[in-house]
Amino acid sequence: MIRLLTLAAAVSLGLSPAFAFHCPADMAKIDNAVKTAQLSDAQKKEVAEYRAQGETLHKAGKHQESIDTLAKAMKILKIQ
C-alpha cells in the first residue's frame, strides 16, 4: 500500500509541470482564435471571462482547474 501511495505521489508531481506548460499554450490558442472568430457579444464576453479565469488559476498553481476553464473558452471558439 505504501508503494502504491508513493508511486501515485511521484506520478502526480511529475505531471504538474506538464500541466503548467499546457495552460500558456491554451491561452495563446484562445488569443489567436478570438481575433478572427465570429462570435456574438455575449460569447465574446464569456470567452474573455474564461480566459481571464484560466490565467488567474494558472498563476495560482491550479493548473488542472486552469485547463478545464480554458477548455470552456476553447469550446465556444471551436478550437482544440
Give the pLDDT score at 44.
96
Residue 75 and residue 33: Cα distance in Å, rounded?
A: 11
Q: What is the mean pLDDT of residues 33-51?
A: 96
Domains in the chain: ranges and CATH: 16-77 (1.20.1270)
What H or E segment, with its residue span, contains residue 39? none
Give the pLDDT score at 30.
97
pTM for this structure?
Answer: 0.74
pLDDT digits (tens, 9 = 90+) for 12-39: 544 445 555 789 999 999 999 999 999 9
